[in-house]
Structure formats: C-alpha cells, structure tokens
C-alpha cells in the first residue's frame, strides 16, 4: 500500500497570505489528523477528521481550518498567515480514531 502523501513538501508564503495543504491517507484509512511541529512547541494537535466530520480539535485559532472529502483526502487551510505559523505540518492517517497513526513526510511552511 502506498503511504501517506502530503503536498506540497515545501512552501514559502508572505505574512497575510493564505495557504492550503493537502494530505492523501493510506487507502482504507478513514481518520486523518493534522499536527503542527515547531522546535519551541513540539508536536501540537490541530484537528482530526473521520468520515468527513471533524471529530476533535486542538487549541488553535480559527485561522486554521480543515476538511475531509468523501475519498478521505484532507486539506487544511491557514488564512492570514503570521510569522509564527512557520512550521512542519504533519498529516497522519489511521483506520480508526485513536489507533496507530501513519504519518506523511510533512509540509514545511515558511512565512516571511
């Protein structure tokens, strides 16, 4: 089976812009979770989608949003980018909510 894929792998944006990141889970996995990883804050949970419904949400401002499509692919969107949004954004999929997660390689976002 193909692993979790994330596109793009690298992204450079300017403050105030918005960005959309994409994640394709492992075939058959219905749960997709998103994380932000920074040197200072570590791995922080953004949200989880299961069968197109947001099941859990972390403590991030409303500028961070996501969605999941019927084929389980997921996107996350960050509007009005701030310098502090520079991070590695990781997507993970699992067969069931709370089960072992399989991570993609991440999208490295740099905001200038």
Partner 1 sequence: AQSVTQLGSHVSVSEGALVLLRCNYSSSVPPYLFWYVQYPNQGLQLLLKYTSAATLVKGINGFEAEFKKSETSFHLTKPSAHMSDAAEYFCAVSKASGTYKYIFGTGTRLKVLA
Chain residues binding partner 1 by CB under 8 A are 4, 33, 35, 42-43, 45, 48, 55-56, 90, 92, 97-106
CB of 16 to partner 1, least distance (A): 28
Q: What is the bridge-based pairing of β-strands 107-111 and 10-13?
A: parallel
Strand intervals (E) in the chain: 5-7, 10-13, 19-24, 31-38, 42-50, 53-57, 64-68, 74-78, 87-94, 102-103, 107-111
CB of 80 to partner 1, least distance (A): 27
| Of 109, 72, 111, residue with least CA distance to 90 | 109
| Identity of the residue, 59 or 70, whose beta carbon is nearer to partner 1 in the bound complex | 59
CB of 99 to partner 1, least distance (A): 7
| Identity of the residue, 14 or 100, whose beta carbon is nearer to partner 1 in the bound complex | 100
| Identity of the residue, 45 or 60, whose beta carbon is nearer to partner 1 in the bound complex | 45
């Amino acid at each position: 089976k193909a692993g979790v894929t994330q596109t793009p792998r690298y992204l450079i944006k300017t403050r105030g812009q918005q960005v959309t990141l994409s994640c394709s889970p492992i075939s058959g996995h219905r749960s997709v979770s998103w994380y932000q990883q920074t040197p200072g804050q570590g791995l922080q949970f953004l949200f989880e989608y299961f069968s197109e419904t947001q099941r859990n949400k972390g403590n991030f401002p409303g500028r961070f949003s996501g969605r999941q499509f019927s084929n389980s692919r997921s996107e996350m969107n960050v509007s009005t980018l701030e310098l502090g949004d520079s991070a590695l954004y990781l997507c993970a999929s699992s067969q069931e909510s709370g089960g072992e997660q399989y991570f993609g390689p991440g999208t490295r976002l740099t905001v200038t």
